[in-house]
Amino acid sequence: TCSFSHSPKGFPKLKNDTFLRAARGEETEHTPVWCMRQAGRYLPEFRETRAAQDFFATCRSPKLCCELTLQPLRRFPLDAAIIFSDILVVPQALGMEVVMVPGKGPTFTEPLKEVEDLLKLRQKVDVTAELGYVFQAITLTRHSLEGRVPLIGFSGAPWTLMSYMIEGGGSSTMAKAKSWLYRHPEASHQLLRLLADVIIDYLVGQVAAGAQALQLFESHAGHLGPEQFQEFALPYIRDIAQAVKSKLKEEALPLVPMIIFAKDAHYALRDLAHAGYEVVGLDWTIRPQEARAQTGKDVTLQGNLDPCALYAPKEKIGELVKKMLEAFGTQRYIANLGHGLYPDMNPENVGAFVEAVHAHSRHINKH
């Protein structure tokens, strides 16, 4: 249950640090595994908990976020928990209204249309005032986990958030947002900078609240080509890692491992490996050997089973996991999917994935 069983500061001692060790490049007995969107609609108990609530109301309830974060850990021996939240809480903190429309997904009531619309955004954001509910959820969940596994905090990256704020929701081309990059480069940088500054404070606040690792989601990297990525995404990704680390030092907070996940950005793997993150997350479209060759020896890789592989029979999932572990190697590696779990997936197949990672990696490490 999600209640304070310890004093707010004294967090329970961590019992399974495999995920953190792998993230830092230390040796592990088995390959750690967690799943993006592991707290999600594929679980009947998730649908039940969420049923009566508006999506963003759920995000604003520390108790519900805690419960949803813990649900997958009650079922599966995952090596990490990721706080239940959404990347769009950051645009909300800037003063934009986002509603969850059934069958359509997140929708901005008034997306940014003209450069002048930037003036409507809060130029100075007090993250504790605007996003304190996420910090409370992290603290509560960290206690309620009772040291079982580490807790990951996260944020969307500036370009991904900017694209949502201009498109007003999902889009197959991101044409409106990309047109800003070509037509209004200065205004684009102004918006990206504003977002980066909020994200930096937000991530530092998550660590202060109890997050033991951080993941930055550049989910829309694949809509950019190499040149636009170099100009409008990478500098902010780098800056966030550097600024978060220096602020954590300044505030005498733990230096937690950071993960960058830039979906479909194969062209940028080399740069991402040198962007200041301990872990580079990979989508399913890249070959493990290729990723290793491009990222070198000093970062841990995370990924990258095709989520749709979980529709396969369990034996097949086991074979695919074994192949993936052989290709990546069991060390300096965190097993995951190449994107989030889908709502119609069978929880038993998720369990088969997690167990296969543990069994095969232990076997490979012994022999």
Catalytic residues: 37, 41, 50, 86, 164
Q: 16, exposed or middle or buried, with CB in 10 Å at 0-12, 13-18, 19+? A: middle
Cβ partners under 8 Å of residue 14, min gap 6: 20, 147, 149, 150, 212
CA distances for 366 relative to 196, 241, 263, angstroms: 44, 36, 33
Between helix 185-209 and helix 234-250 the angle, nearest 10°, is 30
For residue 358, which amino acid is it? H
Cβ–Cβ < 8 Å for 141, 151: yes
The β-bridge relationship of strands 98-101 and 105-108 is antiparallel
**In terms of Cα–Cα distance, which of 209, 108, 221, 210 is closest to 166?**
108
Cβ–Cβ < 8 Å for 281, 336: yes
DSSP code at position 297: S
DSSP code at position 33: B
Helix (H) or strand (E) segment spanning residue 155: strand 151-156
Length of the chain: 367
Buried b (16+ CB within 10 A) or exposed e, 83-99: bbbbbbbbbbbbebebe
Between helix 127-144 and helix 62-75 the angle, nearest 10°, is 40
Q: Which residue has the tokens 């990347």?
A: 87
- Three-class DSSP category at 103: coil
Three-state SS for 350-366 is: HHHHHHHHHHHHHHHHH
d(CA 225, CA 214): 26
Alpha-carbon torsion (65, 212, 147, 128), positive or negative: negative
